[in-house]
Structures are given as structure tokens and as C-alpha cells.
Amino acid sequence: MLNFVLAESALELVPKEIRKQPAVSSDARRREKDSSEILLDRSFHHSAMAKLKDSEKRGRPDLVHGALLSVTGTPLYLEGKVRVYVHTYDDVVVEVLPKTRIPKSYLRFRGLMEQVLSGKGDRLV
């Protein structure tokens, strides 16, 4: 069995210290969600992220999505010989259950991760 771990991945909900920043609040309002329930994403929240500690290694859920698509598309994963874990900047560990299909669309992936990280979904995808 092979374990694949994305350590300190750039996958997290918007931290408290920038939830009221204009870039974050407008993104949340547009998506009809609370700013505490959306993923930190440098593409949308770049101006607000300048105030964050370690900002250069945060807010890239698109990279996590790409890595998970790559790993879960391998023959070893499809045969059930690879376990996949995502360790986030906030020390949350998400286990991707065997045979789980990661959404190909980034927007669907983002919605799924927002549910998981906000506690509205299972910690195990």
C-alpha cells in the first residue's frame, strides 16, 4: 500500500482576520455564502491576503485540485493500492476514501471542499 500525502496544502477556509476585507466579502456575497464558509483563493482574495502570515503558501486550492486529479487517475489508485490524504495549513487532515472520484470541475471541487472543511460534510470525502 502506498500513502500519498499533500502536506501543508494550500487548502483552507478564509481565516478570521480577513473575512471582512472587501475582496472576501464581495466574493462571499456573490456566491450567497458567509465569508467563513468559502475557500481562501488567491485568484479572488489576493489583495486581502497581503495581511496574512505565510501568504505565499496559502490560497491555492486549484493546485490541490490538480494534484488530486493526477493521483486519483493513476492505475495504482484505481486498483485500490494508494491511500490519499490532504493535510491543510490549519492542520486538518482529509482522507480521500478509496475509489472516490474527484470532481473534474474546479468549481464542484471547491464546493465539496467548502462543505468538508466547514463541517457540513464528512471529513472523509
pLDDT tens, position by position, 21-47 = 999 999 999 999 999 999 999 999 999
pLDDT at 12 > cutoff 90: yes
The CATH homologous superfamily of the domain defined by 2-117: SPOUT methyltransferase, trefoil knot domain (3.40.1280.10)
φ, ψ dihedrals at 58, nearest 5°: -125, 160
Name the average pLDDT for the chain: 92
Of 8, 19, 23, 107, nearest in space to 58 by CA: 8
107-113 own/partner pairs: CB under 8 Å, 24+ apart: 109/61, 109/65, 109/68, 110/39, 110/41, 110/61, 110/65, 113/11, 113/39, 113/61, 113/64
> Would the pTM count as exceeding 0.95?
no
| Span 88-100, pLDDT tens digits | 998 999 999 988 8
